[in-house]
Amino acid sequence: MAEFGLSQEEADGFTGELIAQIEAEIADLETAVAARDSEQLEEVLHKLKGSTSNLGEGASP
C-alpha cells in the first residue's frame, strides 16, 4: 500500500471501513428485494457498485 501513500495500518482501516459499508449495503439490498421496491433496489445497487469500485481501486497497483 506504500505506492498509494498509505501505511499498512491506514490501508487496513480503509479496507475495514469499506467492508462495513458494503455489508450495510447488502442488508439494504436484501430489504429492497424483499419489499419488491425497484427504486430502492436501484439506489442500493448504485451505492454498492461505487463501494466495490472503491475497494478495487484501493487494491490495484
| More confident of the two residues 24 and 1 | 24
Give the Cα separation of 14 and 55 in Å (integer): 9
Each residue's pLDDT tens digit, 5-26: 778 898 889 889 888 988 999 9
pLDDT of residue 24: 92
pLDDT of residue 15: 85
Each residue's pLDDT tens digit, 31-45: 999 999 999 999 999
Backbone region of residue 60 per phi and psi (left: phi > 0; alpha: psi in -120 to 50; beta: other values): beta
Query: Could you tell me the residue ranges of all domains in the chain?
Result: 19-61
Q: What is the pTM of this model?
A: 0.68
